[in-house]
């Protein structure tokens, strides 16, 4: 069975079903409300209710109560590890064919529920309908792609020959045991992909979801159980990362951690998880994604590609461009054009059809935006820079003019803030990129093939694009564009949505039989 990306919106438009797409999404915006204002238990081979609760509110208005979730205790966390460890070998022993079949079934179930889940994401993390559907599509893609990859590699077991007469040997890749997944808020698909990798190959997984998308994560775990994953092998524990996460990643019963989030938290987990015993630590820790625009570019293409990358989902993508290096000969013209283009992007309720971006994720991010803007000289603000006075956490798309501040130009902000900087040459721009501590994504706009080759051959960045109008540094597709961070952006050197990804959650055993 060949892999095919889900691509719901694009495929429906191609079939002249765009109106149907909007109709189904609008209906789901209403129907998903039935899930709200309920209490959701932890799922630890059964339902667990804790004394302390977490109430999750939508960033759309800061007051719509999505649901009540559990603040997991140390005792519950330790119980989860014990259950997961006791049962992982039984899950592995089902064989790769059975596990792949369950995952293909899960992908089909998720595809049937994708409109409701995408509508839920609009409430939970503020995505517009196109981004939300794309996010759910990517989740479906991860499940299918990894299942097909496991089938293609026959469970990662192969005969290795005869070293001595009368001996037969083979290499078998086996699970470690228990993986903890600490997930981010910005992509439901990242949560799904991080869980799917270690679980599919035979490990048990404990999911500590982001406190900003707990309900969509809960629905995903429910769906996986429905598809056939045993409840003892996929466990859902809500709560704070500092309390629940640390209890789990320092537990000797946990063999590995899969983390996506900030550099500070990622390095803390990486360091502290290894103190008592070696553990697998697969971390993606963000980036300072930079797009280079040379004097040989198509200017309109470059303007749109930079703006869409910087402001899509309010810059809250690991891959969002937050720095653009513009050839000094084009700099003034580029400034005017990108300010004009970006000023027309609609910031509004993400449930509305024409909205480009909705609110940022929460009060903490809202306050961070204001604090950053208080440090910027007024004459350096080309566009935006202010909160939008309405219910919810809405801020303006912001463009800054050559501020020269390393806290702006070299630090990940995770907000709709784009810094522009003039450069004299492509070599200077690439050297600047390579001098950064991060190396996740990047892009270039030039119509000169030699410049593209120079950038691709010399940029120390995991994911690079040339002339991508839909997003100059964003939008990696499962199967086609493995998503991998270099340097401080990641620890594994293997990309999600890649044919190398699953092997990170397996360890090799050499087996020899003497005839």
The helix/strand/coil state of 208 is strand
**In 3D, which of 484, 491, 461 has the Cα closest to residue 283?**
491
> What would the two tokens of residue 336 be?
């005017």
Do the bridges between strand 463-466 and strand 417-423 make them parallel or antiparallel, or are there none, so unpaired?
Answer: unpaired
> What would the two tokens of residue 9 be?
């919106």
Q: CA distances (Å), 230 to each of 73, 226, 253, in order?
A: 23, 9, 19
Choose, from 284, 304, 409, 451, the residue flagged as catalytic: 284
For residues 365 and 414, the answer to whether their CB atoms sit within 8 Å is yes
Strand partners, 408: none
> Could you give the CA distance from residue 191 to residue 338 in angstroms, rounded to a whole number?
33
**In 3D, which of 199, 189, 181, 185 has the Cα closest to residue 258?**
181
User: Does the annotation count 297 as an active-site position?
Assistant: no
CB atoms within 10 A of CB 259: 28
Choose, from 318, 409, 412, 451, the residue flagged as catalytic: 318
> What would the two tokens of residue 262 be?
């900030």
Report residue 207: phi and psi, to 5°: -100, 120
For residues 39 and 67, the answer to whether their CB atoms sit within 8 Å is yes
**In 3D, which of 165, 167, 173 has the Cα closest to residue 149?**
173
User: Does the annotation count 30 as an active-site position?
Assistant: no
Q: How many CA atoms lie within 13 A of 109 on its CB side?
A: 17
For residues 102 and 92, the answer to whether their CB atoms sit within 8 Å is no
> What would the two tokens of residue 456 be?
């691709």
The distance from CA 8 to its chain's CA centroid, rounded to whole angstroms, is: 19
Q: How many residues does the chain have?
A: 515
Give 97's contacts (C-beta < 8 A, 6+ positions apart): 151, 155
> Could you give the CA distance from residue 466 to residue 209 in angstroms, rounded to a whole number?
34
Report residue 326: phi and psi, to 5°: -110, 130
> Could you give the CA distance from residue 234 to residue 204 in angstroms, rounded to a whole number?
6
Catalytic site positions: 284, 318
């Amino acid at each position: 069975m060949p892999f095919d990306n889900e691509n719901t919106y694009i495929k429906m438009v191609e079939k002249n079903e765009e109106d149907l797409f909007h109709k189904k999404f609008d209906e789901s915006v209403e129907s998903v409300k039935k899930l709200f204002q309920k209490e959701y238990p932890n799922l630890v081979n059964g339902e667990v209710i804790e004394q302390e609760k977490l109430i999750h509110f939508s960033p759309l208005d800061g007051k719509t109560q999505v649901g009540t979730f559990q603040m997991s205790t140390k005792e519950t966390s330790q119980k989860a590890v014990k259950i997961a460890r006791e049962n992982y070998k039984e899950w592995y022993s089902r064989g790769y064919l059975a596990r792949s079949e369950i995952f293909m079934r899960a992908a089909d179930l998720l595809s049937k529920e994708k409109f409701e889940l995408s509508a839920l994401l609009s409430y939970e993390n503020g995505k517009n309908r196109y981004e939300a559907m794309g996010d759910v599509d990517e989740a479906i893609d991860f499940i299918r792609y990894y299942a097909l990859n496991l089938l293609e590699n026959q469970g990662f077991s192969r005969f290795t020959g005869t070293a001595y007469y009368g001996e037969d040997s083979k290499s078998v890749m086996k699970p470690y045991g228990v993986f903890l997944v600490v997930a981010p808020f910005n992509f439901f698909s990242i949560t799904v992909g991080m869980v799917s990798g270690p679980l599919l190959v035979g490990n048990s997984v404990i999911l500590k979801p982001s406190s900003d998308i707990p309900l969509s994560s809960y629905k995903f775990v429910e769906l996986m159980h429905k598809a056939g994953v045993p409840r003892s092998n996929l466990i859902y524990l809500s709560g704070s990362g500092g309390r629940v996460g640390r209890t789990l990643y320092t537990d000797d019963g946990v063999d590995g951690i899969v983390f996506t989030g900030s550099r500070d938290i990622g390095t803390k987990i990486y360091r502290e998880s290894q103190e008592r015993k070696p553990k697998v630590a697969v971390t993606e820790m963000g980036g300072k994604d930079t797009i280079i625009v040379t004097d040989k570019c198509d200017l309109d293409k470059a303007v749109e590609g930079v703006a869409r990358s910087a402001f899509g989902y309010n810059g809250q993508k690991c891959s969002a461009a937050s720095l653009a290096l513009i050839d000094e000969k084009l700099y003034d013209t580029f400034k005017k054009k990108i300010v004009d283009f970006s000023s027309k992007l609609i910031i509004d309720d993400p449930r509305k059809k024409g909205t480009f971006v909705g609110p940022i994720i929460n009060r903490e991010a809202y306050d961070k935006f204001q604090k950053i803007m208080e440090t910027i000289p007024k004459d350096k603000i080309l566009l935006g820079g202010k909160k939008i006075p309405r219910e919810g956490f809405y801020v303006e798309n912001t463009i800054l003019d050559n501020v020269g501040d390393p806290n702006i130009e070299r630090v990940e902000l995770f907000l709709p803030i784009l810094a522009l900087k003039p450069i004299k040459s492509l070599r200077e721009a690439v050297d600047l990129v390579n001098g950064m501590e991060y190396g996740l994504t990047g892009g270039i706009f030039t119509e000169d093939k030699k410049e593209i080759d120079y950038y691709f051959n010399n940029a120390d960045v995991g994911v690079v694009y040339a002339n991508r109008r839909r997003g100059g540094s964003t939008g990696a597709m499962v199967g086609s564009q493995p998503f991998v961070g270099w340097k401080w952006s990641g620890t594994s050197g293997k990309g999600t949505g890649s044919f190398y990804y699953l092997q990170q959650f397996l360890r090799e055993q050499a087996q020899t039989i003497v005839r």
